[in-house]
Every structure is written in C-alpha cells, then in structure tokens.
Amino acid sequence: MAAVTRNILCALGLALALARLAPCARAQGVNPAIAAAETRVSLGITATGYSYHEGFDNTSDQESGVLPGFSLGASRLGPALGLPDVYTGVVYDFSGGALGYQGYLQGTSQGLVPYDQSEAARFNHVEVQLGVAVPLSHAVSVLPFIAAGYQSWSRNIGGSGGYGSFYHAALAGFGAKLDYAATGRLVLSASAEGLAVVGGGVSAPALGFSGSFGTSGEEAVRLGADWRLDNVWHVFAGLEMRHFNYAGSKPSNGFYEPTSSTFAARGEMGVAFGFP
C-alpha cells in the first residue's frame, strides 16, 4: 500500500506542476466543449474480448471469447472545493456470456481431468476517479486523476458436474486523460492508468477452497470520441485495452490458485445526457 500512496501523491504533484506550467491557458479555463463532454450521465453497449491464462502442476488453463455487456457512467467537470476545474467520475462495466475453456477440471476422483468446453462467465468492474483538469491550450486539456475501484469475475466450469469460482479484488492507483476539442461539438480523448490490485481472493465452494491473493498490477489505455448533438444529448464511442494479473494463493484443502494473466479489449458505443 505504500507504493499506492506514493503513486497517488505523484499524480497530485503532476497536476500541480502542470497548473504552474500553463498560467495563460488556466486564465482562459477549460474549453467549453471539453467541459460539456466530461459532464454527463452515460449508457453504453459493449463487446469485450477476453484472454485468460494460468499455469500449474506442468499444465495450463486458457479461456477466451467475446462477451456482450453494458456500461453506466456519471461524471462532472467544474468548480468545486475552491478550484475551477475539478473532475469527479464513476463508471460501472458488466459483461457476461460463454467463454471457451481449454484446461483441466480439479477435484474429481481421477485428479486432473482434461476439459475442453465452454463456461458461463460474468465480469463486473466499477471505478471512481477524482482529478483536476489543466488546460494546456484553448483546445487541449490534461486531466491527472486518482482512482479506486472493485472488480469481480464469476465462472462455472463443467456445468452441473463441475464447480463455480468467484474472483474479486479492490483497485487503487492513478492515471491521466488528454482531451482535445477538435470542434465545438467533437471531443477526442486518450487516457492511461496504472492500478494496484489489492485485497483480492478466490473461492470455489464445491471444492471447499478459498484463498487470498497478494498485491499485483493492472494497466489500461483508452481512446474515445464524444459528439454533442445539441445542448444536452451526446453520442460516444471508445476502445479500451486492459491487462491485469492475479498473484495466486497458498494451498488450502488440497487446492491452490496459481498466478494468472488476463487481457481484455473492449469496444463501446452509447448515448449520454449532458448538463448545460
């Protein structure tokens, strides 16, 4: 957690340094198109491609597939706490469906049994962000932020004869977003963030197994576009790539969770209601 605290302090220090480097732009304030794009309530539909890999006992499990889903978000960019351009935002993402599974079933009388089928999977991700927008020019602003969140993954391997497992973890870290007002209605954006995956764990009740994870890492990059149709309605689209590791667990009741790696690529489009 000390490393997370240092990262958060670095992000706040970066915001203050940028504010000092752009006094003229700060006097003009954030471009109104950027402020409008960042002040909204949004609903999107998503398609996410997942690729998961873990290795244990000289074997490996791999899962992959594309899952449908949706996103809900709310954000605001404006005066708060005595500052002119404070950003607050929260977003929730869900995806669910069938992933292809190539690996082994555990807990059978034959030990590890090869299994090549599909599994039911559900992913949840929620994240809260707080930052300060710093205008670099009339059309460009950078927005350093700190972030905290939670993610989970539920899966059922083997159907009625298999077992379900549940993964979960808290998230904490920082990132930055670059907004460019291409026109008075179109705003393009790019962002990146680095998060610590903390307090995580996994449970498989049918196996009598539960375990805790150590701290690991998560990284994400995004590209986005927001088009304001009128004073309140927007349409938007985005592409996100996210990678995270789970650190694995100690043995419990004859089972353990190995280290794993997950990559997710998500496309999104939707509508938003802005506040003039």
3-state secondary structure of 15: helix
Contacts 24+ apart (CB under 8 A), 61-64: 61/101, 61/102, 61/103, 61/104, 62/101, 62/102, 62/103, 63/99, 63/100, 63/101, 63/102, 63/103, 63/119, 63/121, 64/99, 64/100
CATH class assigned to 1-275 = mainly beta
pLDDT of amino acid 165: 87
Number of other CB atoms surrounding residue 232 within 10 Å: 13
The domain spans of the chain are: 1-275
Q: List per-residue pLDDT tens for the chain, 276 residues long.
A: 444 445 444 544 554 454 444 444 444 689 999 999 999 999 999 999 999 988 766 666 788 999 999 999 999 999 998 888 999 999 999 999 999 877 666 555 555 666 667 788 999 999 999 999 999 999 999 999 999 999 999 988 765 555 688 999 999 999 999 999 999 999 999 999 999 999 999 998 877 888 999 999 999 999 999 999 998 999 999 999 999 999 988 877 777 778 899 999 999 999 999 987
Whole-angstrom distance, CA of residue 223 vs CA of residue 53: 26
In terms of DSSP H, where are the helices of the chain? Answer: 2-21, 23-28, 32-37
Whole-angstrom distance, CA of residue 150 vs CA of residue 225: 25
Whole-angstrom distance, CA of residue 181 vs CA of residue 174: 23
Q: For 74-114, what is each residue's pLDDT tens digit? A: 999 999 988 889 999 999 999 999 998 776 665 555 556 66
**Structure tokens, 27:** 């006097």
Beta-strand pair 186-204/260-274: unpaired
